[in-house]
A = this chain, B = another copy of it.
Amino acid sequence: MPVPHLATALTGPLLELERRILEAQPRIEHWFRSEWHNHATPFYGSVDLRNSGFKLAPVDMNLFPGGFNNLNPDFLPLAVQAAMSGVEKVCPEARSMLLIPENHTRNTFYLQNVASLVHIFEQAGLNVRLGTLNPEISVPTELTAANGAVLTLEPVRREGDRLRLADGFDPCIVLLNNDLSGGIPDTLSGLEQNLLPPLHAGWAVRRKSNHFEAYDKVCNEFAGLLDIDPWTINPMFSACRGLDFQSRQGEETLADTVSTLLERIRVKYREHDIKEEPFVIVKADAGTYGMGVMSVKRPEDVIGLNRKARNKMSVVKEGLEVSEVIVQEGVHTFETVNEAVAEPVVYMMDRYVVGGFYRVHTGRGIDENLNAPGMHFVPLSFESVCLPDRKGSPDCPPNRFYAYGVIARLALLAASLELEATDPDFN
């Protein structure tokens, strides 16, 4: 596994943040332990981070993570151990798991991710099989992943309140690796089996703005613990509703929201003496896969979008229409690997960081979204686990990764608060 050469010209503020995170490690871990004592950990998740040299912040939190195939295989045992811990919490009696992947089964890299997940849960000691919600698959079907792994997808059957396979396979746990962008299928409603993550974590219900609202709370508490400006780890945002990109309805409101947020960023940049040009990201409040995402530097950029841009913004995965967006403070990516722009992604299971990788893209700028359709990123797995090296400098790779792991876990904790706050059974 090559060691990524981090060419980031790390300036004062981030080094200072990393130093503080490192010094406060026992306090941070103690705080996380107490928080996880009071809040249920999401079963798994991944967090997209951005490191601008003056700010280190999550920009997205995925509760149905793909990309496990991009992690350093040397550290998969950490994922297995974390999976054991997660299964023990959810259902210590579990013998078997039905894993339900996305329907886009032609993406052979995604299939590799599915194969990695199967491997992890098998090593954790479960009987794992793959069920599909794809109506096009009516019999057990073999698919081959990019690395040659062969997977058998089987149509699921709803029998009473249980999900089964045709031969009677009756799983204890149903694990979704399908983010339900297309809505919640009846097949999954009211199951008596353990369904993970819960249905309201799917993009049919979930809103990024709820997540970042929860993240605000988590950040403010954490920033108090470390005595830092929470802004250094938190991207500002505003939600904007009632849009119709095709008919241009609401574009003035959107421009106002963009304008206000850009002004708030300028104030923070002046306060922290930052010379960069502020920008915001406009993206669908529900949805994933980098569809419906725009990088915007001026409010007028969202007025009078051409047809292509309107099309791009108006629909995300599975044809879901976009009427709600989140306008999020853009965080420059100042990290580069071999002169290519790099964005770290951190993976977690239960409450543990199990690895991560850099999404490396040569053709994109530091203020662009790196997770875009058709994007050909090169994954570069972290060369060490996210544990601190107290004797190293604050920005040596283990400590850099530790800081990433801490910020990612803040986002995981925010997801936990978010799922509590949006749980239909308790609201």
Contacts and interface: CB of A to CB of B under 8 A. Distances in A.
Interface of A: 25-30, 32-34, 36-37, 74-75, 77-78, 80-82, 84-85, 87-88, 92-96, 122-127, 352, 385, 387-388, 390
B93 A125 contact: no
Contacts of A88: 33, 36-37
Contact of A75 (B29, B77, B127): B77
Contacts of A92: 33-34, 36-37
Contacts of A33: 84, 87-88, 92-94, 125
In the complex, the count of this chain's copies comes to 2
Contact of A84 (B27, B80, B122, B352): B352
Contacts of A126: 26, 29
Contacts of A84: 29, 33, 352
B30 A125 contact: yes
Give me the 7 closest cross-chain CB pairs, A-B, nearest first: A29-B125, A77-B385, A37-B92, A123-B387, A33-B92, A30-B95, A26-B127
Chain A facing B: main interface SS? helix
A93 B78 CA distance: 24
Contacts of A37: 88, 92-93
A26 B78 contact: no
A352 B77 CA distance: 11
Contacts of A75: 77
9 contacts: A26-B122, A29-B126, A30-B93, A32-B125, A34-B92, A81-B81, A81-B82, A81-B352, A122-B390
A28 B84 CA distance: 13
A324 to B, nearest CB: 38
B25 A125 contact: yes
A25 B124 CA distance: 9
A36 B25 CA distance: 30
Contacts of A85: 85
Given A30-B94, A30-B125, A123-B388, A81 B78 contact: yes
Given A77-B385, A81-B81, A26 B352 contact: no
A34 B93 contact: yes
A93 B36 CA distance: 11
A75 to B, nearest CB: 7
Contacts of A82: 81
Given A33-B93, A37-B88, 17 more contacts: A25-B122, A25-B125, A30-B94, A30-B125, A32-B125, A33-B92, A33-B94, A33-B125, A34-B93, A36-B88, A74-B74, A77-B78, A78-B81, A81-B81, A81-B82, A85-B85, A123-B388
